[in-house]
Amino acid sequence: MSDPQTPDEQIRQALALFELPAQPTRDQLESKRRELLATWHPARYANLTNHPKQYMGSYTKAEAMTKQINEAYELLAKWLAAKSI
């Protein structure tokens, strides 16, 4: 297993995933989240191919990305909320 990441590293990775600046606004975070979820929504891949293996591979990747996006969003939302206190 990999070494546990520091909170700063987790924030940097989440910002990189969302392609946000070091000091994002809540509106930027929300907008980018909607954009990423629309891009990576698993159902989006349903009509792209008639090959079940290819579809399932894309679907599985999209599920993993959706999970990663949601986790990064929660982390960044908490981080922004803590900074605004």
Residue 2 has pLDDT above 60, yes or no: no
Residue 70 has pLDDT above 50, yes or no: yes
Would you state the pLDDT for residue 51? 78
Would you state the pLDDT for residue 30? 97
Q: What is the pLDDT of residues 5-47, one digit of tens each?
A: 899 999 999 999 999 999 999 999 999 999 999 999 988 877 7
Would you state the pLDDT for residue 43? 83
- Asked if residue 37 lies in contact with residue 63, where contact means CB atoms within 8 angstroms, the answer is no
The pTM assigned to this predicted structure is: 0.85
3-state secondary structure 21-81: CCCCCHHHHHHHHHHHHHHHCHHHHCCCCCCHHHHHHHHHHHHHHHHHHHHHHHHHHHHHH
